[in-house]
Amino acid sequence: YVGGGLGAAPMSAELLEPFTPEEDLLPTMLAIIRLFDRYGNRKVLTQARLKFLVKKWGIAAFREAVREERRLVKLTASGEDLKAWAPPPEPEPPRLPTPPRKPFSFAPGFDEWRRTNLYPQKQAGFYTVAVRLPLGDITPEGLRALAEIAEVYAGEVRSAISQNFLLRYVPEEALGGLYEALLQAGLAQPQAHTLLDITRCPGADTCNLAITHSRGLAQALEAHLASLALVQDPMVRPISIKISGCPNSCGQHHIADIGFYGSSRKVGEREVPHYTLLLGGRTRAGEARFGQVVARIPARRTPEAVERILKRYQEEREQGESFQAYLDRVGAASFKPLLEDLQTIPSYEEAPEYYQDLGAEGETFRVQLGRGECAV
């Protein structure tokens, strides 16, 4: 697949070819890079993305260009060098401590952690374990502790697009010992890749292009949802929430079940932080669907908006119906009346907190955009 991407203009990737032989994989990648380097838009750097070139040419023309460029790549010295590439070897089994066999633990929280953070691998007897990082943050001390733990218990470590770490090739017999080691290091947070594991960009805390403090909303949402009984619903738990501080989708809001991006609205002479709500985004094999805009909600009312959406889903879903299937049936636009009253903004004198952003309490909200760190 080629030409996909998020950003302010999200596009779904197009199928380049149904199957690429292993020996052609790297030549194909190099051919695509060479075409983009030659024909990509260098004058307007915000358009310097492969997706815009694929859209301009059309996938049929781009496909033929890649095939011809790949043929030429394979005739060059660099193409010959690519033939020496081989897949990396399987990770070595971890070095388990003595005694090695400890598949269970009586430490508090083990059962919940095992239920939400473990994924059986295709390789029998091994698990992938998610190390959940709230807000995507980890301290230097935590990172060193994780490295030491991984040396003992895992075959390899990967970073995930969910802003968590994944420990791969963890033997089932080591799960109890691993949990206790993570617990001691403060890295045994449960609920990885669930409703409470909210993806977010850094937002206005550090980004020059952000409108709102997306980290603040993520914290407020997690605290609010964790207090509700619906978070224990096994049909609600897999629902994804993703937040960006602006339309550029660094927080992947376009492909979330429930997505938000920061915006602003003027009430009189004052600015009020808002979030634009999207519903129904998803990615799965052969399909990428971007969320539909449903409402613009004041930042302060956003947790309540999410609660209403989830409660309506609980009340109206059919037997075994997932949130995505439910949205397909009722339509994202059907939620507009449910959220309409949340969009009313009281005067500053009545509710000054509406005019402050979540995560920046006590500060007057004002959009202050600077120069971006890329595409400049």
Q: Are residues 158 and 54 in the same domain?
A: no
Q: Which residue's structure tokens are 């049909």?
A: 235
How many C-beta atoms surround the C-beta of residue 219 within 10 A? 17
| pLDDT above 60 (res 376) | no
How many C-beta atoms surround the C-beta of residue 230 within 10 A? 15
Answer yes or no: is 1 within a domain. Answer: no
Beta strands 165-171 and 199-200, pairing class: unpaired
User: What pLDDT is stored for residue 285 in this prediction?
Assistant: 74
Answer yes or no: is 336 within a domain. Answer: yes
Answer yes or no: is 368 within a domain. Answer: no
Degrees to nearest 5, angle at CA 299 with 214 and 159:
20
Q: Are residues 223 and 246 in the same domain?
A: yes
Q: Are residues 275 and 309 in the same domain?
A: yes
Q: Are residues 78 and 207 in the same domain?
A: no
Note whether 126 and 169 are within 8 A (CB). Answer: yes
pLDDT in tens, 28-75: 999 999 999 999 998 888 889 999 999 999 999 999 999 999 999 998
Q: Are residues 116 and 74 in the same domain?
A: no
Task: Kindly list the strands in the beta sheet with 156-159, ordered across the sheet, starting from the edge strand earlier in the chain.
Answer: 118-120, 126-131, 165-171, 156-159
Residue closest to 218 by CA, chosen among 240, 237, 234? 240
Note whether 199 and 242 are within 8 A (CB). Answer: yes
| pLDDT above 60 (res 95) | yes
Those residues whose C-beta lies under 8 Å from the C-beta of residue 353, and which sit 6 or more positions away, are 300, 361
Calpha distance 24→277 (Å, rounded): 42
Answer yes or no: is 274 within a domain. Answer: yes
The CATH number for 299's domain is 3.30.413.10
**How far out from the chain centre does Cα 39 lie?**
30
Answer yes or no: is 102 within a domain. Answer: no
Across the range 328-346, mean pLDDT stands at: 96
Q: Which pLDDT band holds residue 81 (cuts at 50, 70, 90)?
A: confident
Q: Are residues 240 and 351 in the same domain?
A: yes
DSSP state of 307: H
Residue closest to 262 by CA, chosen among 201, 199, 207, 211? 211
| pLDDT above 80 (res 370) | no
User: What pLDDT is stored for residue 102 in this prediction?
Assistant: 76
Answer yes or no: is 192 within a domain. Answer: no
Answer yes or no: is 339 within a domain. Answer: yes
Q: Which pLDDT band holds residue 77 (cuts at 50, 70, 90)?
A: confident
Q: Are residues 180 and 314 in the same domain?
A: no
Answer yes or no: is 360 within a domain. Answer: no
Range of the domain at 51: 22-82
Choose the final residue of a domain: 38, 65, 82: 82
Given CA atoms 307, 310, 314, 315 in this order, what sign does their dihedral have? Answer: positive
Across the range 240-246, mean pLDDT stands at: 96
The CATH number for 144's domain is 3.90.480.10
Number of domains in the chain: 3
| pLDDT above 50 (res 99) | no
Residue closest to 277 by CA, chosen among 317, 306, 320, 308? 306
pTM of the model: 0.90
Note whether 259 and 208 are within 8 A (CB). Answer: no
